[in-house]
């Protein structure tokens, strides 16, 4: 119940956006079954939104600890390159997935160590990998666009299961699994505690260092999944462009999800909805037929409106207005009673 209330603003925003796009593009909500798979703008959004959605899951945890992970876009490039390279080397699907995920874990361990043990500020610590990581990815691809043809791998980009696109499934399942893990175990609360007050949490016996490293590893793993999806989608690894700027979309998704950059309380569901909102804006602008040069401006405008509407200040004013109205009503009743006597 409270969980539903938490994501109400995001749900409302999404509904409003869908209504808006439908105005311009009436077929927006139409879903057809073609060759046993569901096809339509909505399915397209679910599929295209997968990378940012996956990144947002990990980013939510990092931000909950008062951190930030700027390296996820780059990690996508690295892990995508590793996956493509492994396939071309003939390690098979299992090997490729394992190595890509391992690369994601290593990226996370690197970030986590810099932040939790060495004590570098997260924004700086992850900037190191963000800027240097594409070089690593280029080393893996030897500077080329490394293409492959492997149906098993391609499944993660363009396959489908029970009619649903594989990337959408992967994204949804990851979000549900992580959210459940957080709330069914004590991880969620411990992460929030560390994010709000690391010193106090450590004094209470919380293993803050390990938790911090763990969230960066989780973020690396999510980036690896996103990297696999991106590589599988184009059947190749592009070290220069894979995941480019997606860290910013992921952060935006978390923020639209109403999670504070100051750490603490977090909601994975809300972040994932945030990612959906971003993708709906992106796709919606295209479908509505605006010239593509307007895309970024319209997107920026919409995001601004969404953030303003969700800002706590506005909520505060709203609360104050309601209280004032209530006080006026009470006073009116009092005077009514007095004059009645």
Partner 1 sequence: MLLTIRSLTKTFPGTKALDRVDFDLAAGEVHALLGENGAGKSTLIKCLTGAYERDEGVIALDGATVSPRSTSEAQELGIGTVYQEVNLLPNLTVAQNLTFGQEPTRFGMVDRRAQRRQAEAMLEGYGLDIDVGRDLSAYSVAIRQIIAIARAVALSGKVLILDEPTASLDAREVETLFDVVRGLRDRGLGIVFVSHFLDQVFELTDRVTVLRNGQKVTTERTADLDRVQLIEHMLGRALENEVVGHAKTHVAQDRPELLAFENFGRRGHVEPFDLTVGEGEVLGLAGLLGSGRTESAELMFGLAAAHSGGARDQSGALDLSSPRAAIAAGFGFAPEERKEDGIVADLSVRENIALALQARRGWARPVPRAEQLRLADEYIEKLDIRTSGPEQPIGDLSGGNQQKVVLARWLAMNPRFLILDEPTRGIDVGAHAEILRLIQQVTAQGMSILVISSELDELIAVADRVIVVRDRRHVAELTGSEITTDTIVRAIAAPGRDQAEASV
Cβ at position 314, least distance to partner 1 in Å: 15
Q: Which residue has the tokens 């492959």?
A: 148
Sole binder of partner 1 in the list 22, 88, 197, 310 (CB under 8 A) = 197
Distance CA 18, CA 40 (A): 14
Phi-psi region for residue 105, left (φ > 0), alpha (ψ -120 to 50) or beta? alpha
Token reading at 333:
């009743």
Q: Which of 15, 203, 248, 309 binds partner 1 (CB under 8 A)?
A: 203
Report how far apart, in Å, the C-alpha atoms of 82 and of each of 1, 98, 145, 244 are: 43, 10, 12, 17
Closest CA to 101 of 222, 231, 214: 222
Nearer to partner 1, 214 or 226 (CB): 214
DSSP 144: S
Structure tokens at 3: 């969980």
Burial class for 80, CB neighbours closer than 10 Å (0-12, 13-18, 19+)? buried
Q: State yes or no: residue 93 binds partner 1 (CB under 8 A).
A: no
Would you give the DSSP letter of residue 288? T
Of the residues 196, 234, 288, 298, which one makes contact with partner 1 according to CB under 8 A: 196
Does position 190 interact with partner 1 (CB under 8 A)? The reply is yes
**CB of 35 or CB of 313, closer to partner 1:** 313
DSSP for 207-271, please give it: -HHHHHHHHHHHHHHHHHHHHHHHHHHHTEE-TTTTTTTHHHHHHHHHHHTT--TT-S---HHHH
Task: Tell me which DSSP letter residue 163 carries.
Answer: T
Binding characters for partner 1, 240-279, by CB under 8 A (x = yes): ------------------------xx--------------
Q: Does 4 bind partner 1 (CB under 8 A)?
A: no
Taking CB under 8 A as the rule, does residue 186 contact partner 1? Answer: yes
Stretch of residues binding partner 1 (CB under 8 A), selected from 85-93, 116-124, 283-291, 318-326: 318-326
Task: Tell whether residue 327 is a contact of partner 1 (CB under 8 A).
Answer: yes
Selected from 3, 12, 204, 314, the binder of partner 1 by CB under 8 A is 204
CB of residue 333 to partner 1, shortest distance in Å: 16
Integer Cα distance of 271 and 255 in angstroms: 7
- Rounded to a whole number of angstroms, the minimum distance from the CB of residue 210 to partner 1 is 10
Question: Minimum Å distance from CB 186 to partner 1?
Answer: 4
201 binds partner 1 (CB under 8 A): yes
Which one of the spans 37-45, 150-158, 184-192, 302-310 is the region binding partner 1 (CB under 8 A)?
184-192
Q: By CB under 8 A, which span of 71-79, 143-151, 154-162, 179-187 interacts with partner 1?
A: 179-187
- Nearest approach in angstroms of CB 56 to partner 1 is 21
Handedness of CA 52, 216, 264, 261 (dihedral sign): negative
| Interface with partner 1 in residues 206-245 (CB under 8 A) | 206-207
- Of 1, 4, 199, 336, which lies in the binding site for partner 1, with binding defined by CB under 8 A? 199
Residue of 161, 173, 177, 320 that binds partner 1 (CB under 8 A): 320
Binding of partner 1 at residue 120 (CB under 8 A)? no
144 Cβ contact list (under 8 Å, min separation 6): none
Between 29 and 200, name the residue whose CB sits nearer to partner 1: 200
Contacts of 282 (CB under 8 A, 6+ apart): 48, 295, 299
Nearest residue to 12 via CA among 306, 318, 316: 306
Least separation in angstroms between residue 255's CB and partner 1 is 17
3-class SS of residue 34? strand
Footprint of partner 1 on this chain (CB under 8 A)?
A: 184-187, 189-190, 192-193, 196-197, 199-207, 264-265, 319-320, 323, 327
């Amino acid at each position: 119940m409270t969980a539903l209330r938490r994501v109400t603003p995001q749900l409302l925003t999404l509904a409003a956006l869908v209504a808006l796009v439908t105005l311009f593009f009436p077929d927006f909500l139409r879903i057809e079954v073609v060759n046993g798979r569901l096809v339509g703008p909505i399915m397209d959004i679910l599929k295209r939104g997968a990378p940012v959605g996956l990144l947002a899951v990990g980013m939510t945890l990092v931000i909950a600890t008062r951190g930030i992970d700027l390296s996820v876009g780059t990690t996508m490039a690295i892990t995508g390159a590793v996956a493509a390279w492994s396939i071309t080397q003939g390690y098979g699907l299992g090997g490729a997935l394992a190595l890509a995920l391992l690369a994601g874990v290593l990226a996370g361990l690197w970030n986590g160590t810099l932040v939790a043990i060495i004590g570098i500020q997260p924004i700086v610590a992850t900037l190191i990998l963000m800027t240097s990581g594409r070089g690593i990815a280029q080393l893996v691809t030897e500077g080329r666009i490394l293409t492959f043809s492997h149906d098993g791998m391609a499944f993660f980009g363009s396959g489908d299961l029970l009619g649903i696109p594989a990337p959408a499934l992967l994204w949804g399942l990851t979000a549900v699994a992580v959210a459940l893990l957080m709330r069914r175990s004590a991880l969620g609360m411990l992460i929030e505690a560390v994010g709000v007050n690391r010193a106090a949490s450590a004094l209470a016996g919380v293993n803050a260092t390990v938790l911090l490293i763990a969230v960066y590893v989780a973020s690396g793993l999510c980036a690896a999944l996103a990297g696999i999806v991106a590589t599988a989608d184009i059947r190749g690894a592009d070290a220069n462009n894979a995941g480019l700027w997606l860290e910013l979309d992921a952060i935006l998704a978390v923020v639209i999800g109403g999670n504070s950059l100051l750490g603490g309380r977090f909601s994975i569901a809300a972040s994932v909805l945030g990612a959906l909102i971003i993708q709906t804006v992106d796709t919606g602008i295209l479908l509505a037929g605006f010239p593509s040069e307007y895309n970024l401006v319209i997107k920026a405008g919409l995001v601004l409106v969404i953030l303003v509407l969700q800002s706590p200040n506005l909520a505060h004013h709203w609360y104050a207005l309601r209280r004032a109205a209530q006080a006026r009503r009470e006073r009116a009743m009092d005077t009514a009673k007095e004059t009645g006597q």
